[in-house]
Structure 1
Amino acid sequence: MKVIDHQPHAWLLLEDDSGLLLDVECHHGAVSCSVLIRLNDEELAEYRENGYAYLNRLAEAIHYSAPILAISDSPYKARKLHGYQDQVLEAIRQWQAQP
């Protein structure tokens, strides 16, 4: 896994053997966490067409849908990936270590 793009304090775009993942920082009051999703075919097509601007819009949509809140009915809540934390952290470390 590797970091291929980012918006500081908002999101990271990562790539693994299966495709692209978006890691979005979500903050709601005193609660904050990262929401990692794999881009689906529609999102991949939008990204290919609109690039960075699309990722900003998607990250904003994820953030404002409040997928980290228990009462949320966010469409991204069910898409949140689990079990990738160590891989994401290692990808960030490698990316930050680059000159």
Structure 2
Amino acid sequence: MKVIDSENWAWFLFEHEGKMYLDANCNMSAFGYTYMIQLNEEELKSYKAGGREYLSRLAHDIHYSVPIAKNTTSIYKGRDVSRQFSQLASEAVETWRAGSSAKNT
């Protein structure tokens, strides 16, 4: 897994085994969490057309739909792959940050 792009405090875009994943930074009241989805065909098409702006809107939509809420009607509910990829994502972010730091020194 590797970081393709990110927006501070909003989202990370990852690539893993030819698939793209958006990890949105969300919160519900005082509880912060991340919610990672694999981009489907429609989302990939929209990303290719809209780039970072599209990803920011998608992360916003995920956040405000509150997909982890008990009685949510979020279209993203059931798409969370955070647990499956949390370790790989953490390692990818660490590697990405180390590379970014090296470029700035």
TM range (shorter): over 0.9
Equivalence map 1:20-35=2 (5 Å): 20-35=20-35
Among the aligned pairs, what percent are the same residue? 40
State the partner residue of 2:10: 10
- Show structure 1 runs of 5+ residues with no match: none
TM-score (norm 2): 0.90
Structure 1 runs of 4+ with >6 Å offset? none
Larger Rg: 2
Q: Deviations over 1:26-78 (max 9, x none)?
A: 11111221000000000000000110110011010000000122221211111
State the partner residue of 1:36: 36
State the partner residue of 1:80: 80
State the partner residue of 1:97: 98
TM-score (norm 1): 0.95
Aligned residues: 99
* C-alpha contact 1:26 1:68 (8 A) present in aligned 2: no
Give 3-state SS (helix, strand or coil) of 2:9's partner: coil
Q: Which has the higher helix share?
A: 2
